[in-house]
Amino acid sequence: MKFGSSGVRGLASELVGRPSGLYTEGFARRLRSTGFRQGEVFVGRDLRDSSQTITEDCMAALAASGFQPVDCGPIPTPALAFYARLHGTAALMVTGSHIPADRNGIKFYGPKGEIDKQDEAAITAHVAELSDRYPWPPAHADWQTGHEQALAVFRDRLDGILPPGALSGMKLGVYQHSTVARELLVEVLRSFGADVIAVGKTEVFVPVDTEAVGRETMAKVKDWMREFKFDAVLSADADADRPLVIDDKGELFRGDLIGLATALFLKAEIVVTPVTSNSGISEAFGFSVRRTKVGSPFVIEGMDAAQKAGGIVVGFEANGGVLLGSDCQVNGRTLSALPTRDSFLPILAVLGTMASTGKSLSDLRETWSLPVCASERLENFPVEKSRGLMRKLADRDALRQFLAPFGTLADVDETDGLRARMTSGEIIHLRPSGNAPEFRCYAEAGSHDRASEIVAMALERARDATLADD
């Protein structure tokens, strides 16, 4: 177990019980050291099998530490974070987000919002200090609940983003699978006048990674597109902080396109986004662009710095999660800042853009004419192998040899992993996942087929290179 790009994660079997209590106690100590010594802490969870048990462990640990846990039940992460922000209190979300069902995690929020890397380091230090002497188990109880209240205030936030009836005439599919947003997303889209058909609901947990959507998922969506003639299919990952958008042709509307649409919809003046986002997202769109490492803590840090310049600050990641760094005016109302990943705002922004322009998603993609991107991952790829490969490729001669089948290396950006630009203009970005045993590749090229081919070849070479070292 360790902190990755967002929260602490590990095997569910290693998190249930004492470990979840230990990390919660580390969080409680960090809260006290920063001046938040008592009061309510809101706790939510996703729908994977282990989340209920881990949630109960976390609430028991919070109570033992002198805080008052409020059980917000299964709830989208952005809704929980917004509710906590309104109350000026802390929160804790039990979710493994997009990672497989046998894994899980915990996301932590202080009174000012999502914790940063300094907070993570402090919590990790407390865990190490307490590991041999943390008492377990504390007493479990029936906790105060806040599920309906939290959803109500989040729903009110969403109601003001678009005008009444803004989505009238649209036929939309909502892929429900096991996302905690599955009922709320249907309700919200219908409230704006859309004809919504819910598809694919399952009681078996389905990990959906919006950066690397599986072939099986895409095949299902294409079948629904043919059957229902949707204008778009919408969904989210397990805890609903990453949107999934499929266009009218049954193709993935990538997360960085979603982020771009949201930034334009909100009339952003500064955009903060990781180096993995499409390189075509630039000042040409009318906003300043600042690039960061991958992970919401880095984007939030970048947004905090950007706010000193004033103006509307929007952050987004290549997975589509949008972070709103400043208050802004939308539809005649103030949309307050929410500096944590959210799937609902970008989904409504994309659909609102379709409605206001009269263009389909595939038309919008062509209008923006960005480089074509693709991404995929090697699953169950041990962290040690990822680290070993990256150490090896840090040598420029080794990297040139690795990339030889793709052409000649021009330069490398080492902000997060190795982002190689070839003399052809193509980009090949290699990086280990920050929160799972996975190795990722992102590519940009002139066509989807070429970008996908680069990703497949690069991941095959990564697998072969590590096998050769065994």
| Active site residue ranges | 97
Burial 205-218 (b: 16+ CB within 10 A, else e): bbbbbbbbbeeebe
Sign of CA dihedral 175, 151, 255, 329: positive
The helix/strand/coil state of 94 is strand
Burial 26-38 (b: 16+ CB within 10 A, else e): bbbbbbeebebee
Going by C-beta distance under 8 Å and a sequence separation of 6 or more, which residues neighbour residue 439? 377, 378, 381, 385, 386, 389, 430, 431, 432, 433, 459, 462
CA dist 342 and 243 (Å) reads: 8
Nearest to 340 by CA among 95, 168, 145: 95
The tokens describing 390, both together, are 């990256």
Report CA-CA distances (Å) from 377 to 118, 130, 429: 29, 35, 12
One-character DSSP codes across 46-71: -SSTTHHHHHHHHHHHHHHTTEEEEE
Evaluate whether 120 touches 27 at the Cβ level (below 8 Å): no
The count of residues in the chain is 470
Going by C-beta distance under 8 Å and a sequence separation of 6 or more, which residues neighbour residue 384? none
Residue type at position 379 = E
Longest dimension (CA), the chain: 63
Evaluate whether 338 touches 70 at the Cβ level (below 8 Å): no
DSSP H stretches of helix in 229-320: 255-265, 296-306
Phi and psi at 225, nearest 5°, equal -60, -45
CA dist 209 and 343 (Å) reads: 13
The helix/strand/coil state of 278 is coil
Burial 431-459 (b: 16+ CB within 10 A, else e): bbbbbbbbbbbbbbbeeeebbbebbeebb
One-character DSSP codes across 386-453: HHHHHHHHTSHHHHHHHHGGG--EEEEE-SSSEEEEETTS-EEEEEE-SSSS-EEEEEEESSHHHHHH
